[in-house]
Each structure stands twice: as structure tokens, then as C-alpha cells.
Amino acid sequence: MVEHLHKMGLRAEHMYLAGVASIGLSFLTWLLSKQMEKAGIDRADRWGIFIGEWAPTFIALGNGLRTYEK
């Protein structure tokens, strides 16, 4: 899979940036959900956690790509 991602043009730096971006997006969706939805803090927390779980995946893929690139 890592080889296929590399052939598609993705590099470790792209995955690391996606991980950092997902952390920011997690906070942003939590904040917006908390303010704009009437479902309350529980729903906002679920959105934040759902998107926050993407970061470790992107970082792990970045580590795999980094190893493949060397």
C-alpha cells in the first residue's frame, strides 16, 4: 500500500501535513458544532473525536512513507 501511495506522488511530508491539518480541523469542527448545533456538547465532542482520530492514521502513513523513501 505504501508503495502504491508513493507511486501516486504522495510523500511523507504530505501525510504529516494532513495529520496536523486534521488536528486543526478537529478543533474547528468541535467549536463550530458546539456553537451552531442545538444537539449540545455531546455532539460536538463526537465530531471532534471522530476527526481527531484521523491524525494518528496520517502520521503512521507518513512514517511508512518515510521508511519507504529511505
Q: How far is Cα 38 from Cα 44, in angstroms, rounded to an integer?
A: 10
Per-residue pLDDT band for 8 (boundaries 50, 70, 90) equals: very high
Per-residue pLDDT band for 4 (boundaries 50, 70, 90) equals: very high
pLDDT of 59 higher than 90: yes
pLDDT tens by residue, 24-34:
999 998 888 87
* Three cell numbers written together for 25: 480541523
Query: Is the distance from CB of 65 to CB of 51 less than 8 angstroms?
Result: no
**What does the angle CA 35 – CA 28 – CA 42 come to, to the nearest 5 degrees?**
50
pLDDT of 38 higher than 80: no
Q: How far is Cα 58 from Cα 39, in angstroms, rounded to an integer?
A: 29
